Structure 1
Amino acid sequence: MSASDPVSEQLASVLEWLASEPADDPHAELNALRGRLGRLPEAAAGGAPLVQCIDEFEARVLDVCGRLKPRLLNAALPLSHELHAVAGELVEALLEVAGKLGEMAAATRERWRPVRRGDPMAVTARALGLVHEAFVVAAMGGAVTPPGLWLAAYGIVEAGGGFDALVSARPETAAADALHALKRLLALAVLQPESLTARELVWANDYLEGVADEGALSRETLMPAASSFWIDSGEDLPPIATIRSAPPVAEGLVHFSAFGVSRALTGQLDWLKERIAEAEAVGLERDGELLEPDASGLPVGLTPVEMVSLLRRMRDRWALPPNRGQSRRAYRYSVQVCVGLRAVWEAARSDGATERISEWMVYNESPGGYALMSVEGVTGSLSAGMAVALRRDAGHPWSVCIVRWIRSDSPGQVELGLQLVAQTCTPVTIGFRGGEVQSTTHALILPPLPALRRNQAILAPAGTYASRRFVLVHESEHLYVAQARVLSLDMQTANVELFQYEIDPYPI
C-alpha cells in the first residue's frame, strides 16, 4: 500500500477485523461481516485501503458460503429454523458484497477517481460470481429468488461497461470472464432450479462451469426462437421464455439462449448411456468402475444413472423450455396428502390406514396438476421429483402425482407444484431380470391416461429399471404373478422412474 493511500480509523478497524480468524458460527460471522460492510464509504471516495477491504470481504463471505453449502446439500426440506435463517443471511451478505464490487467496477471506469486502476470487467466478473452464489444458496434452501437479485445482476453488468461490452467480448479477456459468469447464471436460472434436488442443482452448476460459454447473448433475437429468452434489464425478472411471452417492443432488450449448451451435452449423454449399456452387458454394476465419468469431463456427485436422468432434463429445458398448455384455476380446499412412494404404496395397500397422511391446501389446479400449500406444518423430507398422492377424503381414490417444484420461504410453510400421473393406483412388487438387488421392489401400477400414455405404467423407485423384462406380483384376495416387458421409459427423476409396460405374451 503506497504512502499516498492513508488508512482512516474507520477502515483500520475493519481491516483489523478482516485479519482475524472467521467465527465458527456462521450466524455470528455473517452478522459481524454485514455490520462492518455497511460502514464502508462509497467506492468512489476510497482508495487502495478500501479496495483491499472489499477484496477481503469477498473472500470472507465466500468462506462462509463454502462452509454452509455442504449443510444445505444434505439437508431435508423444509429447512430447520436455524439453517433457514443462516442461509437467508448468507444470501443477503453475498448480494451486499456483490453490490460493493459493482460500485468498485463503476468507480474503476472513472479514471480520475481515487481507486486502484484496473479492468472494470474483471471486477464485474467477480461481482456476478457472488450474485450467482446467492442464487444457488437460495435455490438449495428451496427459497424463491430473493427480491432485487436480478436488478443487482443487471446493474453490475451496467456498472462494468454494459451488455454491449459483454456481447462484443473477445476471448480470453476480462469481459469474456464476465460474460461467462452471466451466461452461467442465466443458464442455471432457466433450468428451473425449484424442480431440482439440491444434489442435482449443485451438479448442474458444476457442469455449467465448463459449458456455459456455449450459450448465446445478443441484442438481436436468437434462433431457434422456441429456445430463446429475453431480458429487460430494468425489471427485477429472470430471463423470460419467448415461447411463453413474446418480448415487448422496447429498446434495450437482451436475448439469451442455452440451445448451444443443450447440443454440447448430447455427446456426453450418449457416452454415458453407452457405458451403462456396456456395464449391463458384461454384468457389472451400473455404478461400478466401468462408469467412472472422468474420461467425459463430467462432475462428480451423482451416479451415472442419475446423471443420465438429469442431463436429459437439462437438454430438454434448454432446447425447448416447457410451456404451460393448460390454464390454472384458483381454488381453496383441503386434501389429504401422502408423501413418498413407499408411503403411497402402503396407503394404497391398506386402504389409507396409515399415520403418514397429512392435511394440505390446494390453492390452484389444472387438468394436469395442482399447487399445494402445507396446513399442518411439514415433518419429514420433501424434494423435487418424489411421488405424492392426494385425495379429497377417505371416500375418494388416491391421485398419484410427481413433485415438479418445491418452494419453502419459511420453515413452517412449503408449497408444492404437482404433475398428475394417475387418478388411481394399484400397489404391487416387481423384480427385474439381471437387477442389482436379488429381491422385489415396491411399485405402483398406474392405469392408462389418455393425455399422457396409452398403456399401463409402473411407478418405481429410481434405479429400479434394469432390463426389458421384469416379474410383477400383485397380492390381493388372490396372488397374481406375471412376466412383463417395458415398452418405454417415460420419466426419470432423482426419486422415481415411470415406464409403460405390457404383459409379456412369450415369457421366458
Structure 2
Amino acid sequence: MLWSFAVAALCLYRAGHDKADSINDANSNSFGRLLMTETAFNTSGTVRNAVHQIDIRSILQWLTSPAAPQPVDELPMLRSHLQALREVRVTPVQRAHALDRLYKRGMTVITRLLPSLTRDLVLPVPRKTRRIVNGVLNLLQMLADDMLALLEEPFLARPPELALWRSLQALSQQLLISHLIACPAPTGSWQQLHQTYARVRRLQVDTAVPRGASRKLQDVYYSAVLLGCAQPASLTPQEVLFLADYFERFADQVEPISTAVSATPATFWIDPARDVAACSALRNLSRPAAPLECFSCVRLCLLLRAQIAQLDAGTSASELNLPDFAGTSAGRGVLGRLATRWSDLGKRRYIRRRQNHRALLGTGIDGLWHIGKKEDPASVNVSTWMVTNESPEGYAVMHVTGNTGVLSVGNVVAIRTDFDQNWQICLVRWALSENPEHLELGLQILAPKAVPAILAQPSHDTGTEYLRVLILPEIPKLRSGQSLVVATGALPKERDKLLLLIEGNNISVREVSRTGIEEQTGSVEIMSIESVQNPF
C-alpha cells in the first residue's frame, strides 16, 4: 500500500516537473527572442544593455523625424541627444554615425535660425534673444568637443580631416555668433580654435578638403581668424555676416610668414596658448618666448583695393565673386575701412584719461536734428551714460539708465557731458554688450555741433521729397570744409547738386555740391560739400 502511494506521488512529481520545464523553456525562448530584439553584439562580442540600445534607437528615430516649424524648438532636443550619446555604451561606428547626423541637423538648424536672430537686432540684445543665442553657443561647443573626441576612438579607422574640419567649423560659427551680438567670445573658444588648427598642421591635413566640404581646413581656420582681426566690435550684424562671407571666399589670400619678417600693419601673430584673437604685429603687447604663428594680409589688402576700384568703376559685385552687399555704399565702406586699417594702422595721437562722470546721449539723425533745433531734450529719446574714459578724439561710455532707442555701430549720436552744455556730434565706432543690462560704446567726435537742415530732392514721379540732414561745420586743421550727414542710401549716387533749406532766424536756401565721401556705414553717409551759389 505504501509502495503504491510512493509510486503515485513520484509520477505526479515528474508530471509537474515536466510541465514546469516546458513552461520555463517557453519563457526562456520568449525572453531570448526579446533579448535578441532589444540588444545587439558589439565588435568584441559582448551584449549591451537593452536600455542603452533603446536610447541610441530613440536618437536615430528622432533624427528621421521632420524638422520643427520653428528651428529654436529643436535646440533642446539636439543638446539632450548629444548629451545622451556621450553616456550610452555603443560601438565607435554607431557613435560616429549618430554624431554625423546630429552635426548635420544641428548646423541646418543654426543656419535657419541666424537670419531671425540678426534681423533688426538692437543693442543691448534682449534677454529672450540672448537665451536663444546661449543655447546655440552651447550646442556648437558640444559639437566641436564631440567631433574632436571621435579622433580618440581606438576602433574607428577613418581619416581625421572630416572631424577636424567640423570642429573648426563649429568653433568659427560660435565666434561668428558672438560677434553678431557684440558679446565677448565664450571663454576658451579662441584657444581651442588655435590648438585644433595646430593639431591639423601636425597631422598635415591643413590643405585637405574633406568629402562633402567645399573649403580647405586652413581656409576655415583663417576665415575665422581674419574676422577677429577685422575688429568685429566696430561692425553691425549685417556687416559681420558680409565680412564672414567675404573671408570664406578669399581666406586663401593669407600668407603664413616667419616671425623674423619685419612687422607691418597687415601682419599678425597668433599664440595658441592664449585665449585671444590674432594680434597686430605693431601692438605693444608682451609676447611669449614660445614660437608664434605669423601671417600677412598684404596680398589680401591689394585685392581689397583692386575690388573697391572696380566697384567704383561700375563693375557688379557678382562679376567680382563678391557678396551682393559689396555693391551697396555700406558694403564698399566696410571694405574701404578694412583696407585702410590693414594698410596703415595709425598710432593713437592722444592719451585716454579715465573718467566717471555722467553724460546724456541722443541717437539717430532725427534725434540729433531735433536737438540741433534747440528743442527740449525731453521731447527727444535721450538716455543717461557714464563716461569711463575720454580723449580729444572721443569717449568710451557705459549705459546707465533710459531707453537707448535704435542704436547700432556706425550711427550718429550727440553727447552732452556735465562739464559742457553743448551737444557734440559723434559716430559710434564700436559696441560691447556682455549681458542684457550691459552696453558700452566707443564714440569718435565728428564736430562740436551740427546745423539741422532739410534736403529737398525733386522727383518727376513722386514730387519733391524732404529729408532731415545734419551739416557739420568746418574745423581748422581737421576738416577744411563742411560735411553733410545723411541716411545711407538716401541720395542717388549720380546726384551731385543738392538743395538745402536751413531754418535759423530766417529761412535760407543753399545749393551745394558733394565733393567726396568721408565715411560710409550701414546707417549714415558723411560727405564733404561746398557751396555752389545762393540764389536767394
TM-score range, shorter chain: 0.7 to 0.9
Q: Which stretch of structure 1 is more off in the superposition, 429-438 or 235-244?
A: 429-438
Q: Report the CA distance between 1:416 and its aligned residue.
A: 1.3
Partners of 2:357 and 2:418 within 8 A in 1:
no
What's the offset of the Cα at 1:430?
2.9
1:44–1:104 Cα contact (<8 Å) kept:
no
Which whole-Å CA distance do the structure 2 matches of 1:61 and 1:2 have between them? 29
Alignment counterpart, residue 234 of structure 2, candidates 185, 195, 210:
195
Task: For residue 298 of structure 1, give the secondary structure of its aligned residue in structure 2.
Answer: coil
TM-score by length of 2: 0.81
The percent identity for this pair of structures is 25
Alignment equivalent of 1:455, drawn from 474, 478, 481 = 481
Residue 364 to residue 300, structure 1, CA distance change in 2 (3 Å): same
1:442 correspondence with 2:468: yes
- 1:315 & 1:35 partners in 2: Cα distance? 44
What is the identity, as a one-letter code, of the residue corresponding to 1:228?
T
Partner of residue 343 from structure 1, selected from 367, 371, 376: 367
Q: Is the CA contact 1:400–1:420 (under 8 Å) kept in the aligned structure 2?
A: yes
Shift of 1:327: 2.4
The equivalent of 1:140 in structure 2 is 180
C-alpha distance after superposition, 1:281-328 (max 9, x if no partner): xxxxxxxxxx75322222124653232222212222333446544322
- The separation in 1 between residues aligned to 2:186 and 2:352, in whole angstroms, is 25
Residue 327 (str. 1) matches residue 351 (str. 2): yes
Equivalent residue number for residue 30 of structure 2: none
Distance 1:381 1:249 in 2: 42
- Structure 1: runs of 5 or more not aligned: 276-290
Shift of 1:237: 0.6
Q: Which amino acid aligns with 2:143?
A: V
Q: Which whole-Å CA distance do the structure 1 matches of 2:283 and 2:43 have between them?
A: 56
Structure 1 CA distance, aligned partners of 2:121 and 2:108? 23
Structure 1 partner of 2:406: 381
- Change in Cα spacing, 1:355 to 1:170, as seen in structure 2 (3 Å) is closer
**1: distance between equivalents of 2:89 and 2:191?**
21
1:75 maps onto 2:103 in alignment: no
Partner of residue 280, structure 1: none
Corresponding position: 1:33 with 2:72: no
Match of 1:283 in 2: none
Match of 2:222 in 1: 183
CA distance in 1 between partners of 2:263 and 2:451 (Å): 43
**Corresponding residue number in structure 2 for 1:149:** 189
How many residues are matched? 484
Alpha-carbon contact 2:161-2:208 (below 8 Å) kept: no
Partner of 1:300: 324
Please provide the CA RMSD for this pair.
Answer: 3.3
Query: C-alpha deviations, 1:371-429, integer Å up to 9, x for none?
Result: 12221254532211001111026971111111111222222332211111111111112
- Using the TM superposition, give the Cα deviation of residue 22 of structure 1 relative to its aligned residue in structure 2, in angstroms: 4.2
1:44-76 deviations in Å (ceiling 9; x for gaps) = 995111111221221122122112211122132
Match of 1:483 among 508, 511, 516: 511
Kindly provide the amino acid, as one letter, of the partner of residue 225 in structure 1. Answer: T
Q: CA deviation at 1:435?
A: 11
CA distance in 2: counterparts of 1:247 and 1:115, whole angstroms: 42
Runs of at least 5 residues in structure 2 that lack an aligned partner in the other structure: 1-39
Aligned partner of residue 409 in structure 1, secondary structure: coil
TM-score where L is the length of structure 1: 0.85
- The aligned counterpart of 2:532 is 504
- For residues 436 and 202 of structure 1, the distance between their equivalents in structure 2, rounded to whole angstroms, comes to 35
Aligned pairs (5 A) from 1:99-138: 99-105=145-151, 107=152, 113-118=154-159, 120-138=160-178
Contact 2:207 2:216 in 1 (8 A): no
Residues of 2 paired with 1:82 and 1:400: CA distance?
33
1:77-125, CA deviations, whole angstroms, 9 ceiling, x for partnerless residues? 13332111101210121122112112224x27xxxx112321x233212
Distance of 2:117 and 2:477 partners within structure 1 = 37
2:119 corresponds to which letter in structure 1?
Answer: N
CA shift in 2, pair 1:507/1:148, >3 Å: farther
Q: How does 1:57-456 map to 2 (within 5 A)?
A: 57-78=102-123, 79-105=125-151, 107=152, 113-118=154-159, 120-162=160-202, 165=204, 169-170=206-207, 177-221=216-260, 225-245=264-284, 248=287, 250-275=289-314, 293-301=317-325, 303-321=327-345, 323-353=347-377, 354-392=379-417, 396-431=421-456, 438-450=464-476, 452-456=478-482
Give yes or no for contact 1:401–1:422 (8 Å, CA) kept in 2: yes
The 1:122–1:171 alpha-carbon spacing in structure 2 relative to 1, beyond 3 Å, is closer
Q: Contact (CA 8 Å) 1:364, 1:370: kept in 2 or not? A: yes
Aligned residue for 1:18?
Answer: 63
Alignment check: 8 A CA contact 1:337 1:388 kept: yes
